[in-house]
């Protein structure tokens, strides 16, 4: 009888994992103001992409997007994270509801022209994947809002320190998921989260 209970509990736990689509939580700090829950929200921003176009929150209106931080001459994790972003780019190529937003943490060297060159060499065309540059302080500040690190550090390889996280933002500017962009298996899991967020909208 004891065993039966254990098996039943295990089965229930297993079944609960098997639900095809679950709603992703809204991540970050929240506070209750006048009875309403206010969730962590990505603030207003304005950067410039590889095609010299201004990229703001409005660019992502009605869409979900994946944000990350990188720099072109990065000798450590960036090639790996860029390769995983490229996977997302290819996977969601025909899904207009998903955009990508890569912020350089090295705006001094990563000019619009340098970003254009980089995107072109990668084979990235069109307006799905925005490589943006802008005011360094603004980029470093918004990294905090994306639960990421971006800072200048002469001691770090290449001169900058940053995390290789990918952050999933929904159409209400809320963070719904993130992953380690250097780990292909974690990116697999993240891709499923993107898909379930898309399904949530349907």
* Binding interface with another protein (CB under 8 A): 75-77, 79-80, 82-83, 86, 118, 120-123
Cβ nearer to another protein, comparing 27 with 86: 86
Cβ nearer to another protein, comparing 27 with 122: 122
Report the nearest approach of another protein to the CB of residue 122 (Å). 5
Cβ nearer to another protein, comparing 43 with 157: 157
Q: How many CB atoms sit inside 10 A of residue 200's CB?
A: 14
Cβ nearer to another protein, comparing 22 with 117: 117
> In this structure, is the dihedral angle defined by the CA atoms of residues 183, 185, 186 and 190, taken in order, positive or negative?
positive
DSSP state of 133: B
Q: How far apart are CA 106 and CA 114, in angstroms?
A: 11
Q: How far apart are CA 83 and CA 85, in angstroms?
A: 5
Q: How far apart are CA 142 and CA 41, in angstroms?
A: 11
Report the nearest approach of another protein to the CB of residue 108 (Å). 17
Q: What is the three-class DSSP state of 144?
A: helix
Report the nearest approach of another protein to the CB of residue 83 (Å). 5
Report the nearest approach of another protein to the CB of residue 154 (Å). 17
């Amino acid at each position: 009888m004891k065993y039966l209970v254990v098996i039943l509990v295990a089965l229930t736990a297993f079944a609960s994992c098997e639900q095809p689509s679950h709603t992703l939580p809204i991540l970050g700090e929240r506070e209750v103001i006048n009875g309403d829950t206010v969730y962590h929200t990505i603030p207003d921003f304005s950067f410039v992409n590889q095609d010299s176009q201004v990229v703001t929150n409005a660019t992502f209106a009605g869409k979900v997007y994946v944000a990350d931080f990188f720099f072109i001459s990065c000798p450590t994790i960036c090639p790996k994270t860029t390769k995983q972003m490229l996977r997302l780019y290819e996977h969601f190529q025909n899904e207009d509801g998903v955009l990508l937003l890569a912020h350089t943490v090295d705006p001094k060297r990563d000019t619009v022209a340098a970003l254009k060159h980089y995107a072109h060499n990668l084979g990235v065309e069109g307006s799905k994947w925005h490589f943006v540059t802008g005011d360094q302080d603004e980029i470093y500040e918004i990294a905090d809002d994306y639960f990421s690190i971006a800072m200048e550090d002469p001691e770090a390889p290449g001169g900058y320190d940053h995390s290789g996280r990918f952050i999933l933002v929904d159409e209400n500017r809320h963070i719904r998921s993130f992953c380690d962009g250097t780990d292909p298996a974690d990116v697999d899991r993240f891709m499923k989260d993107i898909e379930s967020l898309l399904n949530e909208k349907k």
